[in-house]
Structure 1
Amino acid sequence: MGEPYTPEANRPKLTATDLTRTFGRTPHAVDALGPLDLTVAAGEFVCVVGPSGCGKSTLLRIAAGLLRPSTGRLEIRTASPRPAAMIFQDYGIYDWKTVRANVRFGLDIQGVPRREGDRRAADWLARLGLADFAHAYPATLSGGMRQRVAIARALAVEPELLLMDEPFAALDAQLRTILQDELLEITQALRTTTLFITHSLEEAIVLGDRVLVMSARPGRIIAEHRPPFPRPRTGDIRATAEFTALKGELWELLRKEAVQV
């Protein structure tokens, strides 16, 4: 089965130092995040959980370059001018483009030659069970299939850093479990560095090399846990006593923070 993932031997892919974000101006300013320190090693899958409004999505948007920090800094060690790809809760795909065109979108922006872009798009459509829907439009797809399109689009550009903001939150419980297991298989095969925001403790334990717990706003990291399940792992770990114990421990931490919201 191999040993649990240990990032110490890797230089960090992402480093945040004294990171803060404030919205608005005094006297109505809202301190949303930090100060926060964070490192994510190359190939590591880090899950972040916390109460609503604690700044989880703010952290991810700073990492994606969609927001600037108020103070501190966040750095991504990269060899690419476009190192990150982001997957949103609301899919973020284009209704007026076919499934194939959506998956090709990031490749077109990168200037990937058409033949190579077609090959990579077709590969990811096949991997995610979307090959038969290449010419369909998102409005004709289920929520789970739309999220598969978003995942295929993100991974087709071969990002150095994958940023996922509660990507399965809008799905029903059964479909959510299926997509968790599919993502687990893909990310274990690719070892793509991933920062994953979720409200689901189960999701975080199944997917993560580390689970970070954030405080109520302004969000700070108050605890770190390493799920005791070696790689490669499967969704079968949900049935173990260790899984149940860790989920309970994380819930106790979150419950204390949630009552402060």
Structure 2
Amino acid sequence: MRSGNAVEARAVERVFHSRKRDIHALGPVDLDVRDGEFVCVVGPSGCGKSTLLRMIAGLVTPSAGELRVRVKDGRPDAAMVFQDYSIFPWKTVLANIRLGLDLAKVERREADRLARSWAAKTGLSDFLDAYPASLSGGMRQRVAIARALAPNPQILLMDEPFAALDAQLRQVLQDELLEVWQADGRRTVVLVTHSLEEAALLGDRILVMSNRPGRLLADQEVPFERPRRPELRATPEFVAFREQLWHLLRDEVRSA
């Protein structure tokens, strides 16, 4: 991999095979994600955004091309947050957050310390002994984010993490993620979203994808300096940039 890159893709494609037909879901796609960069991926439904993310995570294999991801101990140095929380209902909040540390065989006292630290950063300190069934959707997603970050992965992959939440709670969690990421040394993040506002608020770059098979239509630098504040949403410059993104994407969404 090139120095300074966390992810590299060259002519990557993905074809899904079935008895009736083959579906060309993605590609070819070329991209670089740099260390410490927050990259958002937007595009029409079914364009392969989530497939791309799952290939970076090692959950899906490319059908063609080459995909390289920074590794640690022989595995991709990445953690993933899914839309549907994917936390264990029979484990407490603390045990869910500690899961990756337990799998890595981190000593229990240290694992508890790290899990409690991330619980505090994500507003969960008062719920450590609670079970997921007693939590709201927003709290469950906080658990999923804290669990992903606790083992200290250098790449965080997020697949529409706030899509299942109502508009107000979604905005609250966007603001919290922005604050945590900016305070956390800015680890590499790749976030898939349908929200142009979310992408413009959080991202350093926005990758705009075409209708299926998904290809990169644009690689758009976000023009707002960091650190950012949630109040940025209300500025004319932010509104104009969001409309610029929609202009790039509109015809693809309609055709999808």
Q: Is the 1:10–1:42 contact (alpha carbons within 8 Å) kept by the matching residues of 2?
A: no
Structure 1 stretches of at least 4 aligned residues deviating more than 2 Å after TM superposition: 77-82
2: distance between equivalents of 1:26 and 1:123? 49
The amino acid of 2:102's aligned partner reads: D
1:51 aligns with 2:31: no
Q: Percent identity?
A: 60
The amino acid of 1:218's aligned partner reads: P
1:102 aligns with 2:70: no
1:170 maps to 164
5+ unaligned residues in a row in structure 2: which ranges?
none
Shift of 1:225: 1.4
| Count of residue pairs the alignment pairs up | 253
Q: Is the 1:85–1:154 contact (alpha carbons within 8 Å) kept by the matching residues of 2?
A: yes
2:244 maps to 249
2: distance between equivalents of 1:86 and 1:248? 29
Q: Is the 1:228–1:242 contact (alpha carbons within 8 Å) kept by the matching residues of 2?
A: no
5+ unaligned residues in a row in structure 1: which ranges?
1-8
Shift of 1:79: 3.7
The amino acid of 2:200's aligned partner reads: I
Shift of 1:80: 4.2
TM-score (norm 1): 0.94
2: distance between equivalents of 1:26 and 1:135? 47
2:145 maps to 151
TM-score (norm 2): 0.96
SS state at 1:93 partner: coil
1: distance between equivalents of 2:176 and 2:62? 33
Structure 2 counterparts to residues 1-40 of structure 1, below 5 A? 11-24=4-17, 28-40=21-33
SS state at 2:80 partner: strand
1:64 aligns with 2:57: yes
1:233 aligns with 2:228: yes
CA RMSD of aligned residues (A): 1.4
Structure 2 counterparts to residues 78-93 of structure 1, below 5 A? 78-82=71-75, 83-93=77-87
